[in-house]
Amino acid sequence: MEIKYVDSHAHLDDDRFNDDRDELINSLKNNGIDLVLNPGADLKSSKNAVNIANKYKNIYAAIGCHPHDSKYMTYETIEIFKEYTKNEKVVGIGEIGLDYYYDNSDREVQKKWFREQIKLAKDVDLPYIVHDRDAHEDVYRIINEEHYDGTRGIIHCFSSSVEMAKEFIKLGFMISLGGPVTFKKAKTPKLVAKEIPLEYLLIETDSPYLTPVPYRGKRNEPSYVKYVAEEIAIIKNLPVEVVAEQTKENFKKLFKL
Ligand code: NI
């Protein structure tokens, strides 16, 4: 039987797919991809993600503002996002969070809109997708402070420790691993893959970024998620089919698909 994967995080709305987006999406099925979640990064890309999800059965959208662009957020944007969630192909809020590596927006501004978008997720009762780069403690603290009954979501491209992964799981999250787990020097993601039970793991590409080995340096695309799954399978000493199946099941359960 052919293996089918779910890519829990790919920016198919990104400009780098402008020349071949339709072709790429139409060939997903033949390339072993069952479903893809396209998260938004700002108002425009959220709108584009929704349009793509409307057009293709196998693509779902999340809407939200990435910490990089939180300086452009307004309460009006929150209201527009809220309207988008009425669309049944919109299954989550994201990606939202904190990025202290680039600091493209002021940290206080990032924190404010992270909280406001968590409140939106609560309001519309959808999972939220978290971006955390070099901001592990503040991300955890804010999620914990804003915690509510029904908190659930994904820590995307997880880059923190096994201990932190366990804490996020306790708060209702799944841990998504991407291209870095295939990098030779990436000890921590490999350790997370080893120690965290498969029931709490998802796989992703973060296309067009973070391309796994052996295509590192090239544009990433959803079909490369198999390299992430294969690495996890090796680390966990499981057949890759099991990793594909369980991560698909986890995804469907989280988003009630
Ligand atoms: Ni992303």
CATH number of the domain enclosing 34: 3.20.20.140
pLDDT given for residue 2 in this prediction: 84
pLDDT given for residue 141 in this prediction: 98
Q: Please give the distance, rounded to the nearest whole angstrom, from the Cα atom of residue 245 to the centre of ligand 1.
A: 23
Tokens of 135: 């901001």
pLDDT in tens, 188-212: 999 999 999 999 999 999 999 999 9
230/57 Cα distance (integer angstroms): 26
Q: Please give the distance, rounded to the nearest whole angstrom, from the Cα atom of residue 225 to the centre of ligand 1.
A: 14
158/181 Cα distance (integer angstroms): 9
Report yes or no: 9 and 129 within 8 Å, Cβ to Cβ: yes
Q: Please give the distance, rounded to the nearest whole angstrom, from the Cα atom of residue 147 to the centre of ligand 1.
A: 23
Q: Please give the distance, rounded to the nearest whole angstrom, from the Cα atom of residue 249 to the centre of ligand 1.
A: 21
pLDDT in tens, 92-150: 999 999 999 999 999 999 999 999 999 999 999 999 999 999 999 999 999 999 999 99
Three-class secondary structure of residue 93 per DSSP: strand
Q: Which residues contact 5 (CB under 8 A, 6 or more apart)?
A: 32, 33, 34, 203, 225, 226, 229, 244, 247, 248
CA nearest 206: which of 218, 222, 194, 192?
A: 222
Q: Please give the distance, rounded to the nearest whole angstrom, from the Cα atom of residue 208 to the centre of ligand 1.
A: 9
Report yes or no: 43 and 65 within 8 Å, Cβ to Cβ: yes
Q: Which range marks the domain in which residue 63 is found?
A: 5-254
Q: Please give the distance, rounded to the nearest whole angstrom, from the Cα atom of residue 32 to the centre of ligand 1.
A: 21
**Average model confidence (pLDDT) for the chain?**
97
Q: Please give the distance, rounded to the nearest whole angstrom, from the Cα atom of residue 11 to the centre of ligand 1.
A: 6
Provide φ and ψ at 155, rounded to 5°. Answer: -95, 105
Number of structural domains (the chain) is: 1
Strands (E), the chain: 5-7, 33-39, 59-63, 90-99, 128-133, 153-155, 173-177, 201-203
| For residue 1, pLDDT beyond 70 | no
Report yes or no: 153 and 94 within 8 Å, Cβ to Cβ: yes
Q: Please give the distance, rounded to the nearest whole angstrom, from the Cα atom of residue 197 to the centre of ligand 1.
A: 23
